[in-house]
Amino acid sequence: MSEAKKTTNRKEIEKWAEQHGGVPSIIKGTEKDGKGEGVLRIHFPDKSKDNENFEEISWDEFFKEFEAKKLAILLSDNSSFSKIVNRD
């Protein structure tokens, strides 16, 4: 696997997701008391057998939580690998 790049750039994240067939999502059932968006993921519906556990959300919703939680994302240029991490 190639090295992953850490970024917070919205346009870069959206472009990468689009190129790899990913959509902004949350893992269902991870919301806290019905508030907040829960655990964020870039989900790949065409590559996953586990689609029922993910709920697609808008990019605006995704980045609202992304910024509120001060997150970054690791992206691989050569694969659909991504991992959401703390910015620190």
Q: Which DSSP string do the residues of 36-85 spell out, in sequence order? A: S--SEEEE-TTT-S-GGGEEE--HHHHHHHHHHTTEEEEEETTSS-EEEE
Q: 48 vs 39, which has greater pLDDT?
A: 39
Mean pLDDT of 30-50: 77
The confidence score (pLDDT) of residue 1 equals: 46
Mean pLDDT of 77-82: 86
Mean pLDDT of 14-36: 84
Please state, rounded to an integer, the average pLDDT across all residues of the chain: 87
